[in-house]
Amino acid sequence: MYGIRLRAYANVSICLAGKNAAMDSSCKPQLDPTLDTEVAWARRKELILATLKMFRVTLDAVRRHAEWVDTRHGINAVDLWILWELAQSPGMRMVDLAKGMALPRSTMEPLLRGLMQRGLIKQGEPADAVPCFLLTFDGQRIADASPQYGQGVLKAAMNQMSDDSLALLTQAMGDLIRHLPFLEERAAFQPMAELLRLGARDQ
């Protein structure tokens, strides 16, 4: 699994580096040569629309989960993910949490500070000079209330997939990203729910 994650990050980096090529109008879709041209175009359109619908369902599930977390616990989805991570591995350091959640430390630091101010986490006694974090009683109660989806519905769903399916998904997503305009590399290190919230605010 770790190797798959490394290949995923490598593929995304390669795709983002070549983002200017995505706007090249000379890139033509490769139609199935065994089919009549009209049939091939119809099948291609059907596949694109079916996939688009699946993206909508996926993003809607992420949004609904974020709203559920806010309504039930009064925190956002990324806060719950931190509590979930600390429930799995008490005493994690900031750098460990940042790596485990694919977030920069500059994003993780204010999140941890906010959770401490709300009394949901506390600093433990580190074995070295680097602070570690533990759940408080209230933080543990929230983490226990969302054992399956505390890490987010998308990551939880991917954890249920086979290695082969994950590899195929990574390859397909990398190919999709390579053809996307308006790419921003920093988006790869922002919580999904936050990206959806920003998009809704801008509309």
pTM: 0.76
Q: How many domains does the chain have?
A: 1
Is residue 198 in a domain? no
CATH number at residue 90: 1.10.10.10
Helices 192-202 and 37-73: angle between axes, nearest 10 degrees: 100
Average pLDDT, the chain: 83
H-state helical runs in the chain: 2-17, 37-73, 77-88, 94-100, 105-117, 137-145, 153-159, 163-178, 192-202
Task: Look up the domain containing 66 and give its range.
Answer: 2-22+36-185
Does residue 112 lie in a domain region? Answer: yes
3-53 pLDDT, tens digit per residue, is: 444 444 444 444 444 444 444 444 566 665 676 777 878 888 999 999 999
Q: Is 192 among the domain residues?
A: no
In a domain, 66, yes or no: yes
Q: Tell me, yes or no, whether 200 lies in a domain.
A: no
pLDDT tens track for 52-98:
999 999 999 999 999 999 999 999 999 999 999 999 999 999 999 99
197 inside domain: no
Q: Which amino acid is at 148?
A: Q
CA distance linking residue 61 with residue 155, whole number of Å: 12
**Measured in whole angstroms, how far is the alpha carbon of residue 144 from the centre of its chain?**
22
Name, in order, each residue with C-beta under 8 angstroms of 178's C-beta and a sequence gap of 6 or more: 15, 18, 19, 21, 22
Does residue 30 fall inside a structural domain?
no
Establish if 190 belongs to a structural domain.
no
